Amino acid sequence: METYIEQVLSSELPIPIWLVAVLWLIAFICATVLASRVNGLVGAQSHISVPENAKPKISARGLALQVLFAGAMFLLVPLLSSAWAAFLAGGWLITTATLFVMNLRSYMSLMRLARGDAVTGQVAYTVAYSYEELSHRFAANSALFLAVGILLAQPAAFGATWFLGASSFRYWRKARAARAA
């Protein structure tokens, strides 16, 4: 067990931090563009309706805050140990790439639904269920990266576990508040 812990604590990012930042920016832009298209496609099909207040909002303020947070993190992580740098910077990159994949899955499903011959009938999500669904998606991805982190002794996967788990908890709290309202 001591060897395992030593391996985790001595782990480094396999690429320079500036490249992690560039890859993060690419993943962030792709995830944001895809999220915008997903929001548009939700209204283009008639089988699933999601309440407006449950749809993720893409605001200039929110985007700016994410870029500022990431910029500050990528500037500060070189001052930390290699394991903490991998946990934070690598975890943030994996989290953003996971958001892209989640949006890609939604986009592909909604494109199919928009054609009209994929399903019959309609379903209307409640606000609470919409938030629960997001919470479950984040929790499942968090569990996946926990397993990857344990198997590979990689702090970046543990970082993704932390960030995705925090997002899951955030949406779980929103769902709970929506059910109570």
Number of domains in the chain: 1
Q: pLDDT at position 49, please?
A: 77
Q: pLDDT at position 118, please?
A: 75
Amino acid at 12: E
Question: Mean pLDDT for each consecutive 10-residue tract of the chain (181 residues)?
Answer: 86 92 97 92 78 78 94 94 94 97 93 80 87 96 97 95 97 94 84
Q: d(Cα 154, Cα 86) in Å, to the nearest integer? A: 8
Q: pLDDT at position 58, please?
A: 82
Global pTM? 0.90
Q: d(Cα 60, Cα 54) in Å, to the nearest integer? A: 18
Query: Taking each helix axis from N to C terminus, what angle separates 155-180 and 127-152, rounded to the nearest 10 degrees?
Result: 160
Q: pLDDT at position 174, please?
A: 94
User: How far from 73 is each of 21, 38, 55, 119, 146, CA to CA, in Å?
Assistant: 9, 28, 28, 44, 22
Range of the domain at 115: 2-180
